[in-house]
Structure 1
């Protein structure tokens, strides 16, 4: 009983650092929404679309204001969010972050089980688990060294090597910040644990479910699990691996048919896909700094402790290798955001491969004499191992990303749109308000998410020109609702054919007169 309580406490402790960023968001951002990163709101927008303008199973792109936007997007996670928001009435930010918290705890729990299953003895296993959750590489340390050489402040540009301001998550536990990644990692961690426990068909089922809701994580882990079963078939002549591999091949075939066949048959999707074809690649120096320390530990284990090799260890060799090749797929084919394949999926297999060495080093620290030197060694080594993540969490709480916020008057306006079950094309010159309208209301914004809105740059240019008082063109004809901000003059309305639906603190919502 005591061990179970201790396990629960350490699992919750591993989740806690992520939510310090949310706490900072709520304290520092007026009109905080709970969405701490730009991509978070559009999942709920996608889910609403399934029920408000879709067929209950699939929806159109909520940021495509055309009335004939194809109803072709079907993924179970947005569907779940849409069900909660439109059918149950749970606020979008509440259901999104709640799922993230639950998934984060599940990810943390399965990570503990994986670490415990792979260790040969249980000494200091909870500390090793916390290192698995929050250990990192040498990204921040390298910048500190550069700052020392160039006589800059030690923490100047501390996330310089941690791409995207640290939001691409090269290590494992940082993924719990994003509810989407927490959910995906819960499935992956559970699948990995099933492989260790030789419940391979369950692992196949878990990655199949994952593939049904996210293209990047889906293809990544179908390839990982497929390659693992191919390895078992070729090396160990495992006949069951043949059937599992055939099942995964069928699933991968359906996956590719949907994403690269069915969706590609719609020009609206092809235009978006071309927008997503971005060379977000990872420089070699970043790979070395992110993975070098754990790769060294993994190599030491495989080279100098061969007796500790067990069959499942080869799974993590395969998993790490496939994910690494996906990160560098720009070397072979047209890049499709290679950074999406980081997310700790190389770092964690390397860490798990190096577990015996890591545990030996940890045990050695706790046996250092005298006590003073032991305390000093632990106080230096553990924070150093987690330095990347300490710097990211510290920077993110002190300097949060530009937040997607909703002033109280705008929330009142959105409540009115929900009460009236308003539909149609919504126009507001504030980019954040326009984007969030698809998440918090049934309307479709004229321009919203920058990568999911067709012709986003042109649409934004048109709206800004309109807001500055320039004459409007035919693009304005489909607009059904207009939200004017306090700084917008009333004469932005193109005619008298508009009636005031709601006013709140000089925010004015207009709708077309019948």
Structure 2
């Protein structure tokens, strides 16, 4: 809740959207695609494609639910997404508690302390950052504490942080639910949840299916276990084949999606300097559970303990797949999944340690030892969450407002260290609300938005039915090329051939606009269509044929 409470702090002239991280808004852009055409569509197209005729080839249950909630309630997309996040986090937490109770138990106080660590435990990332800063520079900056936490901590190398991200909370609920069903030997439900995970997210679905297939294959083919029927393995293999056929074969058959797949091949790597401090605490507890051969033999005699080991090995391999194939965002396979597997393997060791400290050291020293141990375990997440109010207090309302104004979206502000940026979440001004309301009017139906600010283009896909030439950086086909084309338009008035056949809306931020209408706009017969204190929009009508509706017009690439 802390990031959201900080996000909701009042800033004069700006309202919080509920999207506390940049990618969050894209899910609501996807969701409204089910309804933004003339009729409801079960499948949806990429909202960041500039073409209104982009193929509807995607389906995710979450996106459909979000679309229905938005359409039926008529509420702000950010509010819908936030409320969905509350339900997803609550569901994920309940499933996680159920798994913990099944594996560890909740009979005594050490178990409850263990539950706290399960949710909010981490590693030694902060201490590693502290040591590195002191040794190499002799000084300490707060940002150095998270130097080894990938993505400034937003890749969530342990479990608890995922609860603040609505989509990740859902994916983790499905993932953990499938593991829980296996522990309870409810294999049909486990397979159904694995299928739901598959159609919900390509990375999480592939990770869960790879884990379950590897474990079931070990049990059925190598160990000849009677606990796992062969039909369960066959079912999982079938779901995995479906997963690959949809994401790697069917979607690849569409040119726009192939362009996106190339853009997604990003070497976001899980470096050893990150995973060693992130997993060293839970990894040590896990290995202590089978530190000697007799202990290991007894520990791995049960299928569920073998599942935890396979879970970790497969997840860790997928998070480091750059050693085998061209990397495709390996960090997407982290999200705390490896950490959770190690925790479950070492949970009983941790519980035993909690119970032993008061007996061996006495109540007072034992309580102090437990407090110190828990503090070390939760330090990474505690300090990461503490950064949100710290940032708000450090910059203050006036400075934050001024920094927001520097970007029309109020999306991010500098933390005062080079190019390092802290995400504050999307904030929208009253002028932006007026702009989006006007853009949603019937007179703009089928128009293409051209703006130099990709965040305005991005948000236009969230708050209006229009399409923009540039939008979400990773979901806009050929994003760098399109940004260059827009820059050519605003600097030199170069109109691309594929803009000429449709109505275009050229959006200016009045703070950066020349004193008068540029000559190239006048030459194109533009008309001022909208104006307020912050924005000015010019409409250029098509030179070939009119656009009849949202689905009309074709952009050739």
- TM-score for both structures, normalised by structure 2: 0.83
When residues 494 and 23 of structure 1 are mapped into structure 2, their CA distance, relative to the original with a 3 A threshold, is farther
Pairing 1:399-418 to 2, within 5 Å after superposition: 399=391, 400-401=422-423, 403-418=425-440
Instruction: Tell me the equivalent position of 2:19.
Output: 35
Separation in 2, partners of 1:479, 1:31: 31
Separation in 1, partners of 2:135, 2:227: 58
Separation in 2, partners of 1:223, 1:366: 42
When residues 497 and 398 of structure 1 are mapped into structure 2, their CA distance, relative to the original with a 3 A threshold, is farther
Q: 1:332 and 2:328 equivalent?
A: no
Given that 1:211 and 1:219 are in contact with CA atoms closer than 8 Å, whether structure 2 keeps it comes out as yes
Unaligned runs of 5+ in 1: 1-18
When residues 139 and 248 of structure 1 are mapped into structure 2, their CA distance, relative to the original with a 3 A threshold, is same
Separation in 2, partners of 1:301, 1:375: 23
Separation in 2, partners of 1:173, 1:84: 26
Instruction: Tell me the equivalent position of 1:266.
Output: 254
When residues 224 and 24 of structure 1 are mapped into structure 2, their CA distance, relative to the original with a 3 A threshold, is same
Pairing 1:235-384 to 2, within 5 Å after superposition: 235-238=223-226, 241-303=229-291, 305=295, 307=298, 310-367=302-359, 371-384=363-376
Separation in 2, partners of 1:325, 1:475: 44
Given that 1:174 and 1:389 are in contact with CA atoms closer than 8 Å, whether structure 2 keeps it comes out as yes
Q: 1:132 and 2:118 equivalent?
A: yes
Q: 1:228 and 2:218 equivalent?
A: no
Instruction: Tell me the equivalent position of 1:84.
Output: 69
When residues 165 and 73 of structure 1 are mapped into structure 2, their CA distance, relative to the original with a 3 A threshold, is same
1:43-78 C-alpha deviation (Å, 9 max, x unpaired) = 111122232248611222111112432221222222
Q: 1:26 and 2:8 equivalent?
A: yes
Instruction: Tell me the equivalent position of 2:45.
Output: 60
Q: 1:482 and 2:469 equivalent?
A: no
When residues 232 and 370 of structure 1 are mapped into structure 2, their CA distance, relative to the original with a 3 A threshold, is closer
Given that 1:41 and 1:439 are in contact with CA atoms closer than 8 Å, whether structure 2 keeps it comes out as yes
1:85-104 C-alpha deviation (Å, 9 max, x unpaired) = 23442321112121211111
Separation in 1, partners of 2:457, 2:273: 39
Question: Number of residue pairs matched?
Answer: 496
- What secondary structure does 1:158 align onto? helix
Higher mean C-alpha displacement, 22-31 vs 201-210: 22-31
Given that 2:52 and 2:467 are in contact with CA atoms closer than 8 Å, whether structure 1 keeps it comes out as no
Instruction: Report deviation, 1:135.
Output: 0.5
Separation in 1, partners of 2:101, 2:27: 34
Instruction: Tell me the equivalent position of 1:4.
Output: none
- What secondary structure does 1:291 align onto? helix
Instruction: Tell me the equivalent position of 2:78.
Output: 93
Separation in 1, partners of 2:506, 2:270: 42
- What secondary structure does 1:409 align onto? helix
Higher mean C-alpha displacement, 443-452 vs 491-500: 491-500
When residues 372 and 261 of structure 1 are mapped into structure 2, their CA distance, relative to the original with a 3 A threshold, is same
- What secondary structure does 2:356 align onto? helix
- The equivalent position to 1:204 in structure 2, one of 180, 185, 191, is 191
Instruction: Say what the alpha-carbon RMSD is for the aligned residues.
Output: 2.4
Given that 1:329 and 1:338 are in contact with CA atoms closer than 8 Å, whether structure 2 keeps it comes out as yes
Separation in 1, partners of 2:312, 2:354: 24
- What secondary structure does 1:122 align onto? coil
When residues 278 and 439 of structure 1 are mapped into structure 2, their CA distance, relative to the original with a 3 A threshold, is same
1:188-220 C-alpha deviation (Å, 9 max, x unpaired) = 121121111111211111010111121111111
Separation in 2, partners of 1:67, 1:138: 49
- The equivalent position to 1:111 in structure 2, one of 96, 104, 116, is 96
Separation in 2, partners of 1:313, 1:495: 72
Higher mean C-alpha displacement, 91-100 vs 435-444: 91-100
Pairing 1:423-502 to 2, within 5 Å after superposition: 423-468=446-491, 470-474=493-497, 476-477=499-500, 478-487=502-511, 488-489=513-514, 491-492=517-518, 493-495=521-523, 497-502=525-530
